[in-house]
Amino acid sequence: MAVTDIQRYLRPGTLQLSALPPLALYIHLPWCLKKCPYCDFNSHEMQPSAMPEARYLDALRADLEAALPLIWGREVHSIFLGGGTPSLFSPEAIDRLLSDVRARVKLAADAEVTLEANPGTFEKDRFKAFRAAGVTRLSVGVQSFNDAHLKALGRVHDAGQAIAAVEEAAASFETFNIDLMYALPGQTLEQLEADVTQAMALMPPHLSIYHLTIEPNTYFAKFPPVTPPEDLAYAMLDRITEMTTATGMERYEVSAYAKPGHRCWHNWNYWQFGDYLGIGAGAHSKLSFPHRVVRQVRNRDPKLYMDKALAGNAIAQDEEVARADLPFEFMLNALRLAEGFALQDFVARTGLPLSTIEQPLQEAQAKGLVARDFERVKPTERGFDFLSDLQALVLA
Ligand SMILES: C[S@@+](CC[C@H](N)C(=O)[O-])C[C@H]1O[C@@H](n2cnc3c(N)ncnc32)[C@H](O)[C@@H]1O
Ligand code: SF4
């Protein structure tokens, strides 16, 4: 990061951010055993024996060092090691990576450190070694417990390996997450119920469950599978919410359910328009300065990323968020939360007065999509179910 860039970020501007929001660190690890046909994440097929682990870690360290002036003196409250399949990295590599981070940033004493792990990518005791390296929370990418659906999703694991991975996560970590998807090709309501029943039997403190979407530029976009109709997908979501809340979980975000005390701090911060520095191939950052909010994207291709990061310049794009886009960017995420947002956070994090969102809020309230008092705005049940309508109002 050239000194001139920092000066550019710090120069005067029309926004007035009264305080900087909490800061998180995202680290992208881009390789997977096999590319799934529905996945548009920045993930690339690689055999673990061919992974340039040490060089990638060198690149991450160089990337972080170059970014340090942008977060100088700020405490980091969470780290999220996402992918790709981070659990393909050896525990020794994760240990080195977290030591490199700790040596360079001020990490909060109670920082949440999440690692995404795929079933079928670990041998016994690997999770314990991740724990010893400083990972506090494991996120297990299960997707389904039905072997036929796992096959249709192109997953490398079966249901037995998924259960074994979750049991190992429960034994090794004080908290963990299961990732599931629903509205899968050919899935019935009964099969969805069986997936949720199996997930609940494993007593996860946190569950993320996403509607399978067909993303552009994926194999499924070219050869679309037959997925359940919209009304069935809605019925599935209702069942998911009923079944999870019956076990004491709370739906605190559109796709996230947690037992008390087990919300994901990292994602929570993201939804609340908190700051995050993202390092690694294709990683995104959102960083605040007294007079502007900046977004950055790292080079996406892992090889190019490593070359560029090691040469001190991993950033492919960087732009200031336009003043006119800030209200939408803030609300897009904040309205995903059941608790909505505090009005004072809107002012603090966008640097804009409340009057900029008064009109869309009035309209959303008139349509029964949000409720508000003097302190907070939150989506109503109807607003939660019709989130894209609500977001479109803010966009308009
Ligand atoms: C970054 S991905 C990777 C996690 C891990 N590699 C895995 O696949 O298990 C995080 C989660 O996004 C969800 N996801 C990925 N592609 C999706 C899609 N097309 N539709 C819905 N959810 C998706 C999956 O549940 C996945 O676990
Ligand atoms: S394992 Fe996860 S990140 Fe990798 S291709 Fe599949 S869904 Fe994408």
If DSSP codes are grouped into helix, strand and coil, which group holds residue 385?
Answer: helix
| Per-residue confidence (pLDDT) for residue 224, from 0 to 100 | 97
Q: Which residues line ligand 1 (CB under 6 A)?
A: 38-39, 41, 82-83, 85, 116, 118, 141, 143, 179, 181, 210, 212-213, 215
Distance 39 CA to ligand 1 centre (A): 7
User: Side by side, which strands form the sheet with 341-342?
Assistant: 341-342, 376-379, 370-372
| Per-residue confidence (pLDDT) for residue 2, from 0 to 100 | 52
Phi, psi (degrees; rounded to nearest 5) at 141: -85, 90
| Per-residue confidence (pLDDT) for residue 3, from 0 to 100 | 47
Q: Residue 336, exposed/middle/buried by CB under 10 A (0-12, 13-18, 19+)?
A: buried
- Please tell me the distance from the alpha carbon of residue 244 to that of residue 137, in angstroms, as a whole number: 20
- How, if at all, do strands 256-258 and 206-211 pair? antiparallel
Count CA atoms closer than 13 A to 32's CA, side-chain side: 24
Q: Which atom from ligand 1 is nearest to the alpha carbon of 118? A: 9
| Per-residue confidence (pLDDT) for residue 396, from 0 to 100 | 66
CA nearest ligand 1 atom 7, residue? 141
Of 47, 85, 150, 220, the residue with max ligand 2 atoms within 8 A of its CB, to mutate for a pocket test, comes to: 85
Q: Reduced to 3 DSSP states, what percent helix, strand and coil does the chain have, rounded to the nearest 5? A: 45, 25, 35
Residue 73: is the preceding peptide bond cis (ω within 30°)? no
Indicate which ligand has the atom closest to the C-alpha of 37. 2
Looking at the chain, list the stretches that DSSP marks H as alpha helix, in order from N- to C-terminal side.
Answer: 3-10, 53-67, 91-104, 126-133, 147-152, 159-172, 189-201, 219-222, 230-245, 265-271, 302-310, 326-334, 343-350, 355-366, 381-385, 387-395
- Please tell me the distance from the alpha carbon of residue 387 to that of residue 338, in angstroms, as a whole number: 11
Contact 269, 77 (CB under 8 A): yes
One digit per residue, the tens of pLDDT, for the chain of length 396 reads: 554 578 899 999 989 998 999 999 999 999 999 999 999 999 999 999 999 999 999 999 999 999 999 999 999 999 999 999 999 999 999 999 999 999 999 999 999 999 999 998 766 789 999 999 999 999 999 999 999 999 999 999 999 999 999 999 999 999 999 999 999 999 999 999 999 999 999 999 999 999 999 999 999 999 999 999 999 999 999 999 999 999 999 999 999 999 999 999 999 999 999 999 999 999 999 999 999 999 999 999 999 999 999 999 999 999 999 999 999 899 989 999 999 999 999 999 999 999 999 999 999 999 999 999 999 999 998 898 888 888 888 776
CB neighbour list of residue 42: distance below 8 Å, 6 or more residues apart: 28, 30, 84, 281, 282, 300
